[in-house]
Amino acid sequence: MGLRELSVVEQRFHAVTEMLGASPKTGVADRYGISRQTMHAWTVRYERDGLRGLEDDLIGRRRVRNRVDPTVEASVCQLRADHPRVGPRRLRHELRKCGVAPLSCRATIYRILVRNNLISR
């Protein structure tokens, strides 16, 4: 029987079981090349969701939930193109007047402008 490469979930499972087996978190994290915070996050997700908590798709869904709605991003870009001297605070005010929802915070509007090269840092 030949050697086979472990899947990402299997590697995470091995790391978590080592940590739950009373191995020091820092030592386990160092062996797997991850931070202590990542080790902690994997452990919490494993305890809450079992093996399913260690899968990539569960991690990816969390990021998607925080993503800006594409129609809101398009509205921000269009308003900025129409009013090139207006900043994030005023853009947010104009979006509210136009009834755009969900309304992003000023910092998010700023990041949208930077991401679309409509403002420099």
Q: How far is CA 92 from CA 39, 84, 87, 89, in A?
A: 38, 14, 9, 5
> What does the pLDDT read at residue 8?
84
On the CB side of 111, CA atoms within 13 Å amount to 8
Is there a contact between 76 and 104 (Cβ–Cβ < 8 Å)?
yes
Separation of CA 63 from chain center: 4
> What does the pLDDT read at residue 60?
52
> What does the pLDDT read at residue 7?
80
> What does the pLDDT read at residue 2?
60
What single-letter amino acid sits at 94? E
In SS3 terms, 48-73 reads as: HHHHHHHCHHHHHHHHHHCCCCHHHH
Q: What is the mean pLDDT for each group of 10 consecutive residues in the chain (121 residues)?
A: 74 90 86 89 90 73 67 92 93 92 88 88 68
> What does the pLDDT read at residue 64?
53
For the record, the structure tokens of 70 come out as 């594409």
| Alpha carbon distance 93, 106 (integer Å) | 10
